[in-house]
Structure 1
Amino acid sequence: MTPRIEVVGIDSLMLRLFDEIDEAHMPWLLAAARRLHDNFGAALIDLVPSYTTLLVQYDLAQLDDRQARQRIADALYELQPYAEGQGRELNIPVWYDPSVGPELEALGQRSGLGTPGVIARHSARIYQVFALGFAPGFAFMGLVDEILASPRLKTPRKQVPAGSLGIADRQTAVYPLVSPGGWNLIGRSPIKLFDRDMDGYSIWQPGDRVRFQPIERAEFVRLGGDDRPFGVTP
């Protein structure tokens, strides 16, 4: 780990801890985030963790650039990674089906696994929540099995249903709200992922670990899922 500080705004610094995405980096990022939160205290406006970086936005009325850099340096002094188990473990039910996952069958053919094989491979892994972004409650997770890695669609869809589970490269995510998107869709979850009344507004946070649990259509509907086929609007 060779930390670097990059200027991204008049009141913002980017702390880059790593150059490549790896699940093993998350304990270091979480530990650094906690140290930064404590060191900046009331001067901290926002702290945004990502795959390899931490964005620190601070109050210019309380700190200048030199002081902010010093607080970052102090946070990194003798930094130790979080022990495993700091994040929560979440089981998210998913109805994997071509009617709600239009790329599921194509991915099965392309990978040679077939549809059942794609479902088995995708649901077998525990995924790390690296970052939240794009939309409220949208969690970037990884890393999917290499055989399932799929590039984003050349033309993003104008509307993706809430709860849609997708793959982009070696990332996987669930769309929390109806929104545009270009990920390869393979299923749908009935779980509400974003709620203003929820602590932190989101069901998950960086550092959490997620396993997707395959369920049948009847269970999906019982849990409140919308089983209308992809492309069918109310």
Structure 2
Amino acid sequence: MREYPAGDDALLLDFSGQPSPGRAAARAAAALRAATSDGRLVVADVVAGAETVLVEALPGIGVNELGVRRVVHDLAADTTPDVAAAAADHLVVDTVYDGPDLDAAASMARCSPDELIRAHTAVLWRVQFMGFAPGFGYLTPDDSSDKSDIDLLSEIGRRDQSRPAVPSGSVAVAAGYSAVYPRESPGGWHLLGRTSRRMWDSTAVPPAALAAGSTVRFERTDR
């Protein structure tokens, strides 16, 4: 892990040198949030990225760098099996796999559409970070998932040309990520299907169905 100052009141932790940088960043972010909740660490926010974690201090106080290092060091030294994924309550997203890019995505992965659907539903997905649009979670395969399924899905890149409008509820994949479009928006990911589950509701508390660190299972349905 590398550390970089981010202004006077933030510290950026870079896990890009780790064997599984995305997973390392997600675990560190979860540990830092837990330390904040139980009072071991006083920070304003912990923001996970694809391979980084931004730790924001309260204005004018500065980051407790020693405390941050202690939390991350304890996490790295913990050899207890990670059973969080197995014990967690996953958000289930019922999906109709009739997307316009299903065949093209399967071709990129060198498999049949049914094999692609099987892999997408077999993987346990974890929200690495939120972004792009309200309620849009960038999902990455949890380490508990079968490596062959992860490798198959990682073969699917972005579309050569983005769409000006992707329908709300579209279930998509690209570059090892999966996502559900919470509302109509432009997008360059491959659309595998659609769901009726609302990912963003401004009247709900919280408004987003997803949060960084939460887990998702996609389940195939015919309607």
Report the TM range for the smaller structure's normalisation.
0.7 to 0.9
Amino acid at match of 2:152: I
Per-residue CA distance 1:58-86 (angstroms, 9 max, x = gap):
2333x13xx53244235446345775256
Q: Does 1:193 align with 2:193?
A: no
CA contact (8 A) 1:33 1:54 kept: no
CA distance in 2: counterparts of 1:71 and 1:110, whole angstroms: 45
Cα 1:196/1:10, change in 2 over 3 Å: farther
Cα 1:206/1:141, change in 2 over 3 Å: same
Amino acid at match of 1:53: T
Unmatched tracts of structure 2, length 5 or more: 142-148
The equivalences for 1:156-195 within 5 A come to 156-195=162-201
Unmatched tracts of structure 1, length 5 or more: 220-234
Amino acid at match of 1:126: L
Amino acid at match of 1:214: R
CA contact (8 A) 2:26 2:48 kept: no
Q: For residue 48 of structure 1, what is the aligned residue in structure 2?
A: 47
Q: For residue 109 of structure 2, what is the aligned residue in structure 1?
A: 111
Amino acid at match of 2:128: F
Query: Matched residue pairs, number?
Result: 207
Larger Rg: 1
Farther off after superposition, 127-136 or 186-195: 127-136
State the shift of 1:17 in Å. Answer: 4.3
State the shift of 1:174 in Å. Answer: 0.8
Q: For residue 69 of structure 1, what is the aligned residue in structure 2?
A: 65
Cα 1:69/1:154, change in 2 over 3 Å: same
Q: TM-score, structure 1 length as denominator?
A: 0.75
Cα 1:114/1:74, change in 2 over 3 Å: closer
Cα 1:183/1:190, change in 2 over 3 Å: same
CA contact (8 A) 1:29 1:52 kept: no
Amino acid at match of 2:64: A
SS of the residue corresponding to residue 210 of structure 2 reads coil
Farther off after superposition, 6-15 or 68-77: 68-77
CA contact (8 A) 2:31 2:71 kept: no
Q: TM-score, structure 2 length as denominator?
A: 0.79
CA contact (8 A) 1:163 1:175 kept: yes
CA distance in 1: counterparts of 2:35 and 2:129, whole angstroms: 18
CA distance in 2: counterparts of 1:33 and 1:198, whole angstroms: 23
State the shift of 1:135 in Å. Answer: 1.3
Q: For residue 130 of structure 1, what is the aligned residue in structure 2?
A: 128
State the shift of 1:119 in Å. Answer: 1.5
Cα 1:69/1:214, change in 2 over 3 Å: same
CA distance in 1: counterparts of 2:217 and 2:175, whole angstroms: 18
State the shift of 1:87 in Å. Answer: 4.2
CA distance in 2: counterparts of 1:214 and 1:160, whole angstroms: 20
Amino acid at match of 1:104: L
State the shift of 1:36 in Å. Answer: 4.2
Cα 1:11/1:211, change in 2 over 3 Å: same
Amino acid at match of 1:90: L
CA contact (8 A) 2:25 2:53 kept: no
CA distance in 2: counterparts of 1:111 and 1:51, whole angstroms: 22
CA contact (8 A) 1:27 1:83 kept: no
SS of the residue corresponding to residue 64 of structure 2 reads helix
Q: Does 1:57 align with 2:56?
A: yes
Q: For residue 93 of structure 1, what is the aligned residue in structure 2?
A: 94
Farther off after superposition, 185-194 or 11-20: 11-20
Cα 1:121/1:56, change in 2 over 3 Å: same
CA contact (8 A) 2:15 2:24 kept: no
Amino acid at match of 1:60: P
CA distance in 1: counterparts of 2:171 and 2:69, whole angstroms: 39
